[in-house]
Amino acid sequence: MLQFDDASLARLIRAVRAVPYDKRKIFLKKLGAAIDPSPALRRYRNRNGPLPLVVVDAPDSRRDLAFFLKAHGVRLPDESPPSLAAGLGELIKRWRRGEQLIPASSTFTAAAPLPTTPAS
């Protein structure tokens, strides 16, 4: 498992933003293979899909993310980063199990799936 401090993660995000959008997927795949060439991790990613990366940088982001998670039935003890990360993990587990993520009492509505573009 890789651990980044805030400065390292910021440098990585700036570097990724500098890569043209249509080449980012290849760039990130090569970067991931260079950093962690673990065959077990590659098998896991091939079987379960890519691991989500959530970057939240808005001033009210913690409060908004906490509201979103609570609206979807995820219990949070507080709005600290570890608590929010655990909450996101729980929401992803529910999604992978195929549970409905939009509760009836929620103000959020399910959006239509985004159109997919053919891989080139």
For tokens 């691991």, the residue is 51
Q: 0.75 cut: is pTM over it? A: no
Q: How far is the C-alpha of 70 from the C-alpha of 87, rounded, in Å?
A: 9
| pLDDT tens digits, one per residue of 29-39 | 887 777 766 77
Q: How far is the C-alpha of 16 from the C-alpha of 97, rounded, in Å?
A: 31
Identity of residue 1: M
Give the DSSP H or E segment for 30: helix 24-35
Contact 75, 94 (CB under 8 A): no
| pLDDT tens digits, one per residue of 71-120 | 888 888 888 888 888 888 888 888 888 777 765 455 555 555 556 666 55
Residue 27 Rama label (left phi>0; alpha psi -120 to 50; beta): alpha
Work out the percent of the chain whose per-residue pLDDT is above 70: 68
Comparing C-alpha atoms, which of 51, 56, 63 is closest to residue 93? 51
